[in-house]
Structure 1
């Protein structure tokens, strides 16, 4: 509401002081530009199921000089990956891309957890989810909702860290808020075509009705993108990710007590357990 009121006031002032008004709008009104750099959030076509999580300031900040940005990006990755080794897949003044684990000759894009950090303040995580083939030769895979929530919690902590704030300089007068995006691969590819995830596992109750024929779906810009924009920095994990998880369920065919299932998953302490790293190739069937 404040942004809308500011824009209305600035429109009126523009008739009298156009140049001053343009500078005031750039300084005071959130533009949501950094989050537009996420691109495709559903990530179909690889051999792994990816959870994509992005966070950015709600305004285009002042950027650091290149050496300071690269150093800040590596410090942020060290916080995120904790004690796990990681390496730079690409490092420059427009992006630093850091991958968990040591580089290998046979590794390819999307095989390992990847953190992409931009001077605009945008941080994108591509997390490789563990996937379990369904029993009795049923087509498809089962993913862990607990793992998904654990990753969301870790990125939430990252966004609230001083290392995240150090990757850019926010404008002085803009209210500090976060723009979020969350996406999940509906399927992976193999020699037979596409194989979809069909089930979710969790220590908490899931929605009452599980889809049997509907393929899961993820929008290009992630789940509930509009509701995930302009979130308060003081919003809890539950308030921040509730819209995205609710749409993940409903757009993938789940129904019956969806809101209760999302609330239980986000409130479950077990979701904060240590996250493992998948070490085997996923194959369909």
Structure 2
């Protein structure tokens, strides 16, 4: 299987390249300067030259707070580029997997969100990602849109790595406790994408197309995740760091976040036959890998 991915430097892209290296899957990662999705004029021809079996749409504008004052670029990347990829893959008659986010919801539902729940993003970032979902769905029916949440990994910038770094510098941390979600390992997402891609390529069933929630099993607050990270690190370093819980209002960030980002992944299990591992297990592996080089 030959996969083309857009957004070659992101967490999931890096994890996907690593995961594919252990399989017979060939991954071609595209980004600037090879391709500029904000100025995509001959995308069908560019993709056709690479002869992919499937395209994985990972490129995204992800600076949630900056998007509040940079909405034009957020929509250019998250909506318009997604639309161009949807059109190009439809022209080539190949499937597309498009990554989306829990931020398409308003966070007011008391239970985990499933794929049939009404959307209602409360930030520019969330609105741009929802627009991207619609763009892909409207241009290529042969799609799987994967909503995930709270991504962490050994790669790039993310909450887990930030907590590890700051906990080495400070004895106490202040972390939000009134937002709850499903922390998700980029490595686990990559494994899921490879399984989904293979099924889409080999099975034309309409049931395998549409929107799916793909997130780590279990749930916690940001403060709960931070506590788990520093507790795991303490086993290795012996250093104790206290996590103090605060509210989102105290943090006072420019963009609103959903207070409930929990995603129900039952549809993925029922139709694809697997679920992602528990967030505690996967986050522990990442912490150990970063601190010791060993993820066992």
The answer to whether TM tops 0.5 is no
**Greater helix percent: which structure?**
2
Structure number with bigger Rg: 1
**Structure that is richer in strand per residue:** 1
